[in-house]
Amino acid sequence: MSTSTPRTMFEKVWQQHVVTEPAGEPTILYIDLQLVHEVTSPQAFEGLRLSGRPLRHPERHVATVDHNVPTTSIADRLVITDQIANAQVSALRKNCADFGVELFDVQDTDQGIVHMIGPELGLTKPGMTIVCGDSHTSTHGAFGALAFGIGTSEVEHVMATQTLPQSRAKSFLIQVEGGPNGALPAGVTAKDIILDIIGRIGTDGATGYVIEYAGSAIRALSMEGRMTICNMSIEAGARAGMIAPDETTFAYLKDRRYAPKGAAWDEAVAHWRSLATDPGATYDRELHIDATTLAPSVTWGTSPGMVTSIDASVPTLDQARSESDQKSFTRAYEYMGLQPGTPMQQIKVDAVFVGSCTNGRIEDLRIAARVVNGYHVATTVRAMVVPGSQAVKRQAEAEGLDRIFKSAGFEWREPGCSMCLAMNPDILSPGERCASTSNRNFEGRQGRGGRTHLLSPAMAAAAAITGHFTDVRTWRFKA
Amino acid sequence: MQPIKILTSTAAPLPLPNIDTDQIIPKQFLKRIERTGYQDFLFYDWRRIQEGPDAGKPDPAFVLNKPEYTGSQILIAERNFGCGSSREHAAWAIAQYGFRAVIAPSFADIFFSNAGKNGIILAALSEAEVQTLIARSTANPQHRISIDLEAQTVRDDQGFLAHFPIDPFRKHCLLNGLDDIGLTLLHEDKLNAYESQRQSAFWLDPKPLNAASPTSTLPPGV
């Protein structure tokens, strides 16, 4: 391979991980890290036992419990009353002990949503290949890793071989330009950017591609914001989303538990710097977005692509792009209990959820707390904050954010996936409408009959206070 | 995995785009630790009446509850079938219910891979071709469709003929019912060689050796 051919970041990471390219078969790609959780791993461990295969590299596997653990109290987590959920958590404990995999259990000070703890512990690093039996593995691409979700058969494949047969995806550059120094308009966040992108290209708009996000608006984002963007790449159908590592990335990683230290750190940074896309490299597809024109986004329907801005209305049927979309719109109006043409700000909410691997990080909690500070949750609303990890919870409590939320009437919970997918007891009742900082508004996602609207943490916080969707750009901050 | 060459069956039409894996199998069934027994949970909510006095009873309007589609081994849907969550339970539920193939204009990436591991043929046809098949299977539930994996064709007895693409390796595995892990391990010498030449690249290790001392304090900013 000539080094003079300009390459994209994705090509560089891909090529470094090619084990072999057997004729007539997919490439066998080396996987540096597999993250494991209780829901998609039991059948994979069982597969290893049945075939008598060892787990090839336990040190390249890290596990935690997140999807179905209760978030109400520490006591509820230590004794999970849902017997089926408890059996699944117990199975993970036994499997990790049997196969030598490090496990961050419920009582561990580093437990958290799998996509939170990888970066927090410094396990996630630029240039790595990372997989997990969870579609939001794309989150780790914020560090310049190639990270993607896989099914349980593939989880077993990685356990047995530390590789995956893969065909190479196409490359898709999404260039997001902000104002001076990449600034976003007031009230517009990373969540609004990614919702806008999904609205433009559709939930299958990036199928078959790895997206690279670039441009001044992306460069100006914190790691938290970059993770929010990469997290939802899967909602546009992408195999993965990536952002080139830079000083922001290195500052985040330095001194984390599993980051290299001393001279090794400098050597690692030198390698990571070489990952950025070479000048002159070409992509299979490009999209350019002017972020200075964006407004806060809210979804109105049952797919993340059914999104509009807070100052707009529920779209009418004639705004659907195809006959097939019209059918989806009609079904979504009925499921969501909404009339086309209703201004978004007139829609009342019953529940507010701040959390998830999309928006459960410290920056998300800070901005939500800033909106909430000095106000009280509307009497018709139940609102909860579920920090994404123990580390985020500790940090938020050190900053006093928990007190702001609690005195405003929010519940302050233990870390986990919680109401993002409602596998644990945090669930909507039929017909309940939720302003949620999570990633999917599918039918029944947060509970059968539940109605989910996706939005940013600031917008969710504002809706909790007023009881309806509210334009955070006009918010009167009290502190 | 059971080898498959030709599949001839009636087909159940589900004419909606973006059918996500949360609909194919709702989350409450993801708590099980078994790999089998998912057939009863396929489209669990869509199969049931959601509101009113009959809530929870089978919804006679849903295609899988119509006796005339009993035994169909082919599902037909619109674009972006299987989007959303990576749960392989969706593929398990479809296969264990008795479907061996899904026809749609397009499929989501992770579902596509999961289906392959479970011996499900995914035949991507054009929007127009899919609409033709949906119309025929809706008008006549006894309408039979034949999928020939070797020839990569979908046919019926009214002259319908369409070709679908499939990666040659995936086709080979489906035709022969092959186990992926075994196939990869045939290349173990290459894997060992790769791992030895990669040993010095510690910056790609999740836990570099010199980083093993756990710090008791978190870095600022979390």
Residues 182-201 of B with CB under 8 A from A: 183-185, 187, 190-191, 194-195, 198, 201
Residue with tokens 């517009």: A188
Six-digit token string for B47: 């199969």
Residues facing A383 on adjacent strands: A352
Residues 73-92 of B with CB under 8 A from A: 78-80, 83-89, 91
Chain A interface includes B17 (CB < 8 A): yes
Give the pLDDT confidence score for residue B213 in this predicted structure.
45
For the segment A96-115, what is each residue's pLDDT rounded down to a tens digit?
Answer: 999 999 999 999 999 999 99
Separation in Å, CA of A243 to nearest CA in chain B: 17
Q: What average pLDDT does the segment A159-184 reach? A: 98
CA distance B25 to B197: 43
Q: What average pLDDT does the segment B186-190 reach? A: 95
Q: Which residue of A has its CA nearest to B201?
A: A268
Separation in Å, CA of A349 to nearest CA in chain B: 21
Give the pLDDT confidence score for residue B218 in this predicted structure.
43
User: Above pLDDT 70, what percent of chain A?
Assistant: 99
- B23–A423 CB contact, under 8 Å: no
Best of A203, A274, A357, A397 to disrupt the B interface (most B CBs within 10 Å) is A203
| Residue A343 pLDDT greater than 50, yes or no | yes
Burial track B143-182 (b if 16+ CB lie within 10 A, e otherwise): bbbebebeeebbbbeeebebebebeebbbebbeeeebbbe
Nearest to B86 among A19, A134, A160 (CB): A134
Task: For strands A27-30 and A163-166, give the pairing.
Answer: antiparallel
Q: Which residues of A touch B79 (CB under 8 A)?
A: 204, 324
A386 within 8 A of A360, measured Cβ to Cβ = yes
Q: What average pLDDT does the segment B99-121 reach? A: 96
Q: What average pLDDT does the segment A131-149 reach? A: 98
Report CA-CA distances (Å) from B98 to A322, B94, B108: 32, 7, 21
Six-digit token string for A258: 């599993």
CA distance A114 to A136: 10
Separation in Å, CA of B1 to nearest CA in chain A: 12
- A153–B118 CB contact, under 8 Å: yes
Query: DSSP letter at B87?
Result: -
- Residue B211 has phi, psi (to 5 degrees) of -105, 10
Residues facing A132 on adjacent strands: A35, A149
| Residue B222 pLDDT greater than 60, yes or no | no
R_g over Cα of chain A = 22
Name the average pLDDT for chain B.
Answer: 92
- B210–A264 CB contact, under 8 Å: yes
CA distance A390 to A387: 7
What residue spans of A100-246 are helical by DSSP H? Answer: 114-120, 152-161, 190-201, 216-219, 223-231
Give the pLDDT confidence score for residue B210 in this predicted structure.
60
For the segment A299-316, what is each residue's pLDDT rounded down to a tens digit?
Answer: 999 999 999 999 999 999
Nearest to A261 among B15, B79, B210 (CB): B210
Give the pLDDT confidence score for residue B211 in this predicted structure.
55
Give the pLDDT confidence score for residue B2 in this predicted structure.
78
| Residue B168 pLDDT greater than 60, yes or no | yes
For the segment A255-268, what is each residue's pLDDT rounded down to a tens digit?
Answer: 999 999 999 999 99
Name the average pLDDT for chain A.
Answer: 96
- A395–B31 CB contact, under 8 Å: no
Residues in chain B, overall count? 222
If pLDDT is split at 50, 70 and 90, which confidence band does B215 have? very low
CA distance A304 to A296: 14
Give the pLDDT confidence score for residue B83 in this predicted structure.
97
Angle between helices A223-231 and A362-372 (to 10 degrees): 100
Q: Measured in whole angstroms, how far is the alpha carbon of residue A70 from the centre of its chain?
A: 20
Q: Which residues of A touch B91 (CB under 8 A)?
A: 151
Question: Could you tell me which of A154, A49, A33, A59 has the C-alpha nearest to residue B184?
Answer: A154
Give the pLDDT confidence score for residue B221 in this predicted structure.
44
Q: What average pLDDT does the segment B11-22 reach? A: 97
Separation in Å, CA of B104 to nearest CA in chain A: 13
User: Above pLDDT 90, what percent of chain B?
Assistant: 86
Chain A interface includes B96 (CB < 8 A): no
Q: In what order do the strands lie in the sheet with A163-166?
A: A18-20, A27-30, A163-166
Give the pLDDT confidence score for residue A310 in this predicted structure.
98
Give the pLDDT confidence score for residue B209 in this predicted structure.
72
Per the model's pLDDT, the better-predicted residue between A73 and B218 turns out to be A73
Q: Which residues of B touch A255 (CB under 8 A)?
A: 215, 219
- A151–B79 CB contact, under 8 Å: no
Give the pLDDT confidence score for residue B220 in this predicted structure.
42
This model of the complex carries an ipTM of 0.91
Give the pLDDT confidence score for residue A423 in this predicted structure.
86
Residues in chain A, overall count? 479
- B35–A43 CB contact, under 8 Å: yes
Burial track B67-88 (b if 16+ CB lie within 10 A, e otherwise): eebeebbbbbbbbbbbbbbbbb
Nearest to A84 among B32, B181, B215 (CB): B32
Q: Which residues of B touch A306 (CB under 8 A)?
A: none
A35 within 8 A of A63, measured Cβ to Cβ = yes
| Residue A58 pLDDT greater than 50, yes or no | yes
| Residue B143 pLDDT greater than 60, yes or no | yes
For the segment A362-387, what is each residue's pLDDT rounded down to a tens digit?
Answer: 999 999 999 999 999 999 999 999 99
A106 within 8 A of A128, measured Cβ to Cβ = no
| Residue A3 pLDDT greater than 90, yes or no | no
Residues 28-57 of B with CB under 8 A from A: 28, 30-35, 45, 50-51
Give the pLDDT confidence score for residue B178 in this predicted structure.
86
Best of B83, B114, B169, B174 to disrupt the A interface (most A CBs within 10 Å) is B83
Best of A18, A33, A324 to disrupt the B interface (most B CBs within 10 Å) is A324
Nearest to B83 among A46, A134, A237 (CB): A237
Q: Which residues of A touch B196 (CB under 8 A)?
A: none
CA distance B21 to A235: 12
For the segment B25-83, what is each residue's pLDDT rounded down to a tens digit?
Answer: 999 999 999 999 999 999 999 999 988 899 999 999 999 999 999 999 999 999 999 99
CA distance B43 to A58: 36
Q: What average pLDDT does the segment A149-163 reach? A: 98
